Every structure is written in structure tokens, then in C-alpha cells.
Amino acid sequence: MPSSISNSEPAKAGPPIGDSHGDPSGGLHSEITRQRTIPDQPWPRIALAVAIAVVIGVAAWEVTCRSWGYRPGLDDTNDLWVEARRTVKPDSTVIIGSSRALFGLDLNALEAGLGTRPVQLALVGSCPYPVLRHLADDATFHGTVICDIVPGLLVVPYMAPPYKNAEKAVKRLHTQSWSQWAGLHLSIPLELTFACLQQEDLNLAALLRHVPLPDRPKAQIGPALPPHFSTIDRDRRTWMRPEVLTDQTLCDRVKYGWPPLFTPPPKPSWIPEGPFGEFMGKLFNERFVDMAKAVSDLRTRGGKVVFVRMPSSGELRQLEERLTPRAAVWDRLLKDTGSPGIWFEDHPELTGFECPEWSHLSAADSVEFTKRLAPFLKQALAAR
């Protein structure tokens, strides 16, 4: 009796299961080959037409990107960070922190002032703790750490993007595949040739962020990131693009993008005020405990740590002091870690530098600032 859930039609004859020529597919391969005959087309001309179309498309996109002000340059990827990290020796001097250290600490000027060339491991928009902890966990490292402190980035929760940014870079060091390593070295000559390969602003995900989407009850749109405005080299020396100084529109786009990014997001409406405040206060206190433990571990091996507060200006400087007062973050950090610190406003030689877009030094000012900072670094390190 045929089943109600099975096909009761008699099976149709198919290709033979075997043949006399020993074909293990039973003639099926030959049958498929006969059914998939490649059509007779002018394939060389088609391939040439496709190649020409690709070249025209890439050229058009390259011209468009250059008309927007983009120029060829390296992308500051986690793989580039890993390449720098692998140059760290046991007694190296290392810079960690945020983009203010990337823009504001000139490696050539530091080398001249300290007698050794630092390795630049600062990361854009990141909390310094994951990298400091990573260095503290490296039993071979007993060098010097120059740690840039942006108070608001130091105390972000572990689930916040600035913390995750640093975590991802450290993780990449341990998980980088051969293909990712090769991709970095293959991409470098292309990135130095084509402006359209700039990944910070010009990949699909970045371009989609420009699509205007309204906030919805359960999907709040975060503040926009500033446009790309820097140049970086293989040593991860970073400079502010000169257009920021001459193009007021670009400068304002960067400048007025900082306050929303530095302002903490509102408390989720479904979490009561009391428990939320206790939870955030607990995370805040734990960060200082963790920083003190990392510094202590480094110091046990003979390592040294000095904290630096880089310049900021304008409304952003006022916002930072309001949200993260010096006494609550900087003073407590130095006390809990027992480390020396250099706050730019404490020294007349380090004041007077205006950040064009409120958060970073210009290329020229970074060299002069670093020259003036070097003696204070030597003094702080000699005291330890």
C-alpha cells in the first residue's frame, strides 16, 4: 500500500549504475558533461570587456574619492598594530593610549629627547587598560610605558566600544592568520597608490553610516564618527592632514563631532536609577584597581610607567573637565598606581598649544610639543 507521505509513482529509469569501462560514477559523469556543454561565445572579447569595465569603474571611483579630498595612505588596522607590537623588545619604550598620543607624540622628537625610539601602540578611540594589562602579562617585557590618559576613555565600561577597540587589537596579536599577515603586506603598496582604498570612510559599512536614519524606540542611532583626517606611516607615526587647518568645513565637521562622542549615552529607561548608578560606580572603581595591579606587575619586573595628559581645547576641554574632573580621575590614578604623571596644564612649556579641532595637535605642533615634553619624561622616569 502506498504511503500518504511518499511518492507512489513508479521510479523512472535513470542512468546505469555501472558501465563496462570502470567509470565509478556509473556513466553519470558523462551524462552531466553532455548536459553542460559550454556555449560557443567570444570569451576572450568578453573577458577584455569585463576588464575594461572594471578599470573604468575603479578609475571613476578613484577620481571621485580624490575630488572629496582623499589621498593614498595606509589604513591604521589591527594588523598594522600587530606589526608594531612584534617589534617590542624586553627593554623597549612603548606608547599606549588613544589618538591624542598618535597625533601628538612625534617618534623622531622622542627618539632625540630620550635616546631611544619608542614603539607606537596607541589606538584611536580606545581605553589604555587592555594594552597595559597585555604588557603586564608579557613576562619578557620590563621596559618603559608612556601612557596617554584621556580621562573619559580610561573609565569607560568594559562593554563600551573604546574598551573593545583595544581588546580587538590585542586579540589580533594572538589570532592573526597567515592570510591576514599576507593581506597586510600585499595591501600596503595598493593603499599607497589608490585613495579609494581608504577603509575608515570609504568601505561599504562606513558609506552606509551616511544614510540618514531616524531614531526608533528600540534602535537609537549613535553619534557620527568624525571623517578621516590623518596620515599614518609604517611606524604608526600619525599626522593631522593639513586640510584641517585650511578647510573650515572639514575642521568643523571634526570639531563638532567630538562633544556627542564624549558625552555618555543616557541610562536605559528599563533600568532603575539606583541599581544602574551602583553598577556603573562599581565598574568605575574596578578600573583603578585594575590599573594599579597592572602597573604593580610591570614594576615588579623592573618596568616603568608614566602617565601623560595631552592637550585638548575649546568646548571639548570644558566638557571633559565637567564629566571627568581632574580630582576624580587623574589625581586618583596617580595616587592608586603610585606613578608619575605629566598634566600639560601644570607646565608653562606645555601650555599654549591649541588643538585645531579641539582634540588633537597639528603636525607642526606635535613636533614642538614632543620636544618640550621629553625633558619632563626623562625627569619622571629617572625618579623611579
d(CA 76, CA 233): 9
Q: What predicted TM-score, i.e. pTM, was given to this entire model?
A: 0.83
In a domain, 11, yes or no: no
d(CA 313, CA 211): 31
User: What pLDDT does residue 18 have?
Assistant: 47
- Cβ of 45: how many Cβ atoms within 10 Å? 9
In a domain, 42, yes or no: no
φ, ψ for residue 61, nearest 5 deg: -70, -40
In a domain, 20, yes or no: no
In a domain, 63, yes or no: no
pLDDT digits (tens, 9 = 90+) for 316-346: 999 999 999 999 999 999 999 999 999 999 9
Residue 87: pLDDT band (50, 70, 90) is: very high
φ, ψ for residue 345, nearest 5 deg: -75, -10
In a domain, 158, yes or no: yes
User: What pLDDT does residue 286 have?
Assistant: 96
DSSP string, 145-204: EEEE--HHHHT--TTSHHHHHHHHHHHHHHH--HHHHHHHHHHHHHHTT-GGG-HHHHSH
In a domain, 195, yes or no: no
Query: Are the C-beta atoms of residues 97 and 121 closer than 8 Å to each other?
Result: no
What's the structural domain count of the chain?
1
- DSSP H helices, the chain, are 28-35, 43-67, 78-85, 99-104, 107-114, 129-137, 151-154, 161-175, 178-191, 199-202, 204-208, 243-246, 248-255, 258-262, 273-300, 314-323, 332-337, 363-382
Query: Are the C-beta atoms of residues 331 and 286 closer than 8 Å to each other?
Result: no
Given a cut of 50, whether residue 45 has pLDDT beyond it is: yes
3-state secondary structure of 221: coil
Least confident of 3-7, 24-28, 218-222, 257-261: 3-7
CATH number at residue 167: 3.40.50.1110
Residue 364's domain comprises 76-178+231-382
In a domain, 155, yes or no: yes
69 vs 310, higher pLDDT: 310
In a domain, 58, yes or no: no
